[in-house]
Each structure stands twice: as C-alpha cells, then as structure tokens.
A and B are shown apart, each in its own frame.
Chain A
C-alpha cells in the first residue's frame, strides 16, 4: 500500500485516536499531518512498518509532545507533557480496531453536535472521520477553499472553547442526538449519490464513506433499528450505482439494466431492511429502505409492486410532509393506477407552487403525458424541466426525451 492509500484509509482513524489521547482537536490534526510527513520521510528508505497505524499514532503522539514543547508557557504544559509521555504504553492497545471504532463513534457525535451549524457538521465529519482533505470537501460542496477552511477552523475552535465533549451522549439524549448523526451520514451519502455536479471520484468516495460510517454506527449501536435501516437504505441505493448513468446520461430506474445492480449489496440491504422493520423501525430511513427493497426485489421493472410503494409513500408523508415526497408518491401512483391519476396529483401539487423551481416536477409531468401519448404537451413539460435542470447527466436525458417527443409528435401528422 502506498502512503497515499494509507492516508485515505487510516488518517481518520489515527485522528480519532489522537483526539482521544490528546484531548485537543487542533493539536491532534497537526500531529496527524506531521506523522504522515514523517512517514513520507522514513518509509521509502526504511520500509513500511508492519503496523502502519500504530507507527503513525506513536509518531503523532511524539510530534504532539514536540509541538507542545515548542509552544509558550512550558510550565503550564508540564502536567500535560507528563501525561502524554505516560501514553507510550497505551499506543498499541489504542490502535486496536475496537478501540479505534469507539473513538470514531465518540467523534462522530462531536462532529454532529447540535451546537455546531448544519453547514459545518457534514464537512467536519468528512474531514475528521473520513480523512477527506479540505480542498476535496470545498470542491464537493462548491464552496471556495478559504471559506471551507475557515468554517472548519471555526468549528474546531468552538469544540475546544465551548467544551463540546468527545463522548456518546447520555441515554436521555441519545435518540435525538443519533437522529442528527444519521441525518449527517445520509446527507454525506446523498451528496455523493445525487451527483449535482463536480468530481466523479470524490462523489464516489463520499457515498462509500457514508456507507462505512453507517456500518460503524450499526455495529456499535446495534440497538438502533433506525441506524440499521439507514445502512440498508444506502446499500440498496448504492447497489444501482453502475446502472444509473450510461454514456453520461442519467438512466431512469425502470430503464436500468438490472444485471448491473450489485447483487451482494442488495442481499445485504434486503436482510438489514427486513430486520429493521421486524424490530419496529418505522422512521424515514426504514420506509425509504422498504421502498428501495421493493425495487430491488423486482426482476423486471414491470414486476415492481407499485401499490405497496404508494402505501409506503403515504406513511412517509404522514411522518414528514414534504412536497418532494408528494411528487414521488404521485409518480408511484402513476405507475400503480395509471398516468391519468398521477397527473391529477401533480397538477394539485404544481398549483401550490412550492416546487416551482424543481425540475423533477415538470419532468415527471412530461413522463406521464408521454405515457398518455400526448406528445406535444409532454414536449412542453420536458422543455420546462430543461430550463430548471442543473446537472449535465440529467440535462442530456431531457434532451433525448425532447427529441423523441418531437419525432413522435411529427409521426402523428397523417401521411400524405
């Protein structure tokens, strides 16, 4: 493994461990960077150590001691230095997988603390737990690098100065705090999965990091059925990743080549969904996982159990009323009861105006009109969607539909 690969795999874990050992976010971050700098210096000539993680944690700890020594007011830091020097023996134990996972769990609750703004919870989680570099995060969120760097620095300062703890919250707060953590993980996943723009490789990494965090939460908090459901949901969506685009164009679920779906992920996702539902999970992740499971189980698009999907959307709407979920339900109704029914729901939704800037509303309308062979109306709807779309893959899809509608519309003109 190259040092770059080890950085990718391990830097988040080493940081989590050092934060616990040092009790200081910024010092730990600096120590991680210095430890990797030391690795770049030594490993090429001396060879990669047998346990790179332990080596890096040790090096990080030593660098932290150096950093503290170099800082002013040595006297005040003497106790701290004595404490750090005593840590020599614990490094081996501290780098065991189970300890590291506990550190990571504590840290994710810190990064997702409600005292931090949402717009920094996600980047901070990526930076701290997933080892993404600030440049990569800035690119993924389309924020200038200095803005993102400043946001992260401020968050770390708040963690230190306001005393945001490194711990899993007490039982009476756990459920609520876990909700935020699950939401942040889900946002990381969606940021990667619903490519709105940007670098494909980084997006791929965001989704797989979210799945890794989802696994961590599921393993360390097995009592949470919602955490299980979230992992299931992410696995089921991610299983379709290779079928979702073809030659740079988004491919609708019903037109996807189902042979490209990752069967191992589907099997795991289905099992987790079933278990979470059996344990009484009925939250948004469980219901969405159940919907994704119904899609995954259908061998062909036409085998999909749309009536059950409609029922699940109804439940989801009761829990979190949202025009986007209403739109999804309308699309499912169109499949279950015919496009006429779907159109009726869409029109009511469009009148309320909440989704007037959301391209999927006219795109769904176009799709229903297309099924009804009302070509010119469908063409108008796709054109409306085209004005609102921001993503290139989705724009290309609409362009194809538009030209199809024009052709079809043309064919309706009777031959001479």
Chain B
C-alpha cells in the first residue's frame, strides 16, 4: 500500500534555529531518506517552501480566482511530504514516527487510493 506522509510543523520555529541546528536537521532528514530508500519504502518526497510562497487558485463559474497564501491559516503548516510504500498502517506509522519533525511537529499519514479503484 502507498501512504502519503504529510509533515506539519511551525514554520516560525524553523527560523529560530541557529545555522548549526538547521544543518543538523538537514543531516537527520538526509539520513532518514537514505535509510527508507535502502529499505525499499521510499517513493518520493520533498521539503516545501514556506506558506509565504504559497498561492491558492480556485475556479468558480469558469473564472479563475487567485489569492496569495495558503488555503487555510493553521497553527502548524505543511512543510514537506514523503510518499512511501508500506505493508500496512503499522509499518507506515513506524516510518512516520522516525521523520525528524515528528519530534516537535506532527505527521499525518494518509493512505493513497490505488489507481483504478474508488475510495
């Protein structure tokens, strides 16, 4: 089964880290990505630019509406994601709990609807 792991944390906290601390964080993420690649779970994943760089688009009555910022203001922001392959939810949760941001943010684990199937 495929799962999308959505990484939420407080962007403002990231800015408060020193350069050395940020470097350590990137190192941890690098190690984690490498480890789930080796174990065959990794499908894809990326860090996202902050929500300040987000743009939201809606189409209503054929008209495109474009606004600055994210769809909804929340306490924690989506900061990155992984797409993984895992045998079941327990395996997916075990992997999600190893994401460095899980220690201060939260990881939403969403099962992916397989192509050709309906939810």
Residues of chain A having any CB pair with chain B under 8 Å:
113, 115, 161-165, 167, 169-170, 173
Contact = CB atoms under 8 A, between A and B. Distances in A.
Interface in B84-119: 86-90, 92-93, 109, 111, 113, 119
B43 interface: no
A142 to B, nearest CB: 31
Nearest to A73: B116
B48 interface: no
Contact of B89 (A165, A170, A173): A165
B88 A161 contact: no
A161 B119 contact: yes
A199 B92 CA distance: 42
B1 interface: yes
B90 A161 contact: no
Interface residues of B, number: 13
A115 B93 CA distance: 10
A170 B92 CA distance: 14
Interface string B38-68: 0000000000000000000000000000000
A163 B92 CA distance: 9
A101 B65 CA distance: 59
Interface string B77-88: 000000000111
B119 to A, nearest CB: 7
Contacts of B119: 161
Nearest to B109: A162
A173 B97 CA distance: 13
A181 to B, nearest CB: 15
Contacts of A113: 89
Nearest to B90: A165
A93 B86 CA distance: 31
Contacts of A115: 89, 93
Nearest to B2: A163
Interface centre among B88, B89, B111, B119, by most chain A C-beta atoms within 10 angstroms, is B89
B90 A162 contact: no
Contacts of B1: 163
Contacts of A173: 90
Given A161-B119, A163-B1, A169 B111 contact: no
Contacts of B3: 163
A208 to B, nearest CB: 31
Contacts of A169: 90
12 contacts: A113-B89, A115-B93, A161-B111, A161-B119, A162-B89, A162-B109, A162-B111, A163-B87, A163-B89, A163-B111, A164-B89, A165-B90
Contacts of A170: 90
A165 B111 contact: no
Given A165-B88, A165-B90, 8 more contacts: A115-B93, A161-B111, A163-B1, A163-B3, A163-B92, A163-B111, A164-B88, A173-B90
Interface centre among A113, A115, A162, A169, by most chain B C-beta atoms within 10 angstroms, is A162
B89 to A, nearest CB: 5
Nearest to A172: B94
A45 B109 CA distance: 52
A170 B87 CA distance: 14
Interface centre among B3, B86, B90, B93, by most chain A C-beta atoms within 10 angstroms, is B90
A167 B111 CA distance: 19
Nearest to B93: A115
A42 to B, nearest CB: 36
Instruction: Name the 9 nearest CB pairs between A and B, nearest first.
Output: A165-B88, A163-B88, A163-B89, A163-B1, A162-B111, A164-B89, A162-B89, A165-B90, A161-B111
Nearest to A169: B90
A163 B35 CA distance: 23
Contacts of A164: 88-90
A6 to B, nearest CB: 33
A161 B109 CA distance: 12
Contacts of A163: 1, 3, 86-89, 92, 111
Contacts of B86: 163
A161 B112 CA distance: 8
A173 B89 CA distance: 13
A173 B93 CA distance: 11
B27 to A, nearest CB: 25
A163 B111 CA distance: 8
A165 B89 CA distance: 7
A163 B109 CA distance: 11
